[in-house]
Amino acid sequence: MGSSSSGLNQAAAASYCQSKGMRLPTKDEALGIAVPNREDCAFPYSWGTWTSTSAGSGRAWDVGDDGGTFEYGVGGDGTFVLCVR
């Protein structure tokens, strides 16, 4: 993990990560970052991130730092965006 941004829809989030030479995490990768590492995370506040994992019909998964998962329309605004290599 090495970069973050906030308030982006999924396409803009993916583009942001790509501009940093990275990509959006999959749902499973984001859960792996969130749940076991919540106390050690560099972000001092709650966060959520778009993932590259489809939730079907123009929707994608968002994962929160507590391991919560949510389905959002890909055109909606997200919270934070975590990029992975």
Res 4 pLDDT > 60 = no
Give Cβ neighbours of residue 19 (< 8 Å, ≥ 6 apart).
none
Average pLDDT over residues 75-85: 76
Pick the residue with more confidence: 3 or 25? 25
What does residue 47 show for φ and ψ, rounded to 5 degrees?
A: -145, 165
pLDDT in tens, 25-39: 999 998 887 766 556
Give Cβ neighbours of residue 44 (< 8 Å, ≥ 6 apart).
none
CA distance 50 to 71: 10
Average pLDDT over residues 37-43: 61
Per-residue tokens: 17: 């990560």
Pick the residue with more confidence: 44 or 72? 72
Pick the residue with more confidence: 18 or 11? 18
Q: For the chain, what is the mean pLDDT?
A: 78
> Considering the entire predicted model, what is its pTM?
0.74
